[in-house]
Chains A and B, each alone.
Chain A
Amino acid sequence: MRALGAILWREYASFFRLPLGWVVVALFLCLSGVFFMDGAVRPGSPATMREFFAVWWGLLLFLAPAVSMRLFSEELRSGTIETMLGAPVSEAVLVAGKYLAGVAFLLTMLAPTLVYVGVLEWLSRPDYGPVASGYLGLVLLGMLYLAVGTLASATTASQTLAFLGTLVVLLMLDVLPRQVAGHLPERAAQTLIAFSPSQRARDFYQGLIDTAHIAYFLLACVWVLAIATVVLQSRRWR
């Protein structure tokens, strides 16, 4: 457990020791702030965050791969992976530590947006239920995106490839089904959309907390991280 904490903390701190972490946070806060000011601080606009969560999903689609791309790729490129695999730590702990550091970074990135909730409170009376569930949906979505990114990062020493690989997978999961669904029979389209993470997250933005959705996100994360662990283990056998 201590090793997990050590890996988590080292990785989390490294986000802020390098410019990349600050750039990602600044980019997210800047763009999310622009969308918020444009949508919420207007006479007659509803006191809800629903639309912003849907827009922030689009930001996560690009920023989550940027966060996860260096988790393993950098270790593979620099050779520090040899030191880490030589330490008495299992690959599962290594993957979990790095992934949780990514999740902690995501939460840090989202934390300042709570100011927007304060602004809504100042302007009108928001319903806090959908706000809380919306944040939950966004965090679950981000966790899945980071898990996919962790897997991509474990497969290559190139951060660029890890970023692009993650982005392609996320686009195939979340954007492609919407484009293709219109051309498919209704049943097939529904099935395809049901696998789309962002589609499931939409229910959270509207204030619906479905345990089936929570189970979907958590199981998907565990499943993807298990594959990342196997990928890392397979390096020993090559």
Chain B
Amino acid sequence: MKLLGIVLVIFSTSSLGYLFALKYKMRRWILKSMISSLNLFKIEITYSKAPLGEILMAISRSSDKSIKFVFSKTGMILSQNEGYTAGEAWEIALNEWDNGYLKKEDVEILRSFGYGLGNSDVYNQEKNFDLAIELLKRQLSNAEEESKKNEKLYKNIGVLAGLAIIILFL
């Protein structure tokens, strides 16, 4: 009986720790996926010069499911021809996107990227992409540092807290 209690306590506290740590991992993952999708996006615009709506749909198909929504939603809004520009559609998609793992700055980078989306020539589109990708990369290395520090910390705290409770109650 006592043993079962010990196991339960340790299990619950350490999973709490993992949950906190997961937040860091997910942010890293989303940023990484976003960077690679934007890279693909950039190539499509500069090389194939296909219409934006088509590109967005193609990108959403090849994107990780954590970020798929932004591209597919933007593409969908554009395809409905309701008079939204790409920038506006992107903004709507971002607002509807469930991105609890990202920090506010990360989303702001994507938001300002949207303002320049599709409204200039290839050269300036490329610059807009490069800027966003560069900034996201910086966020990513920040995120990596943070997670290096905190991920382990939270996991350890979880386990240790469990142990502490057990020692206290024994």
A binds B: no
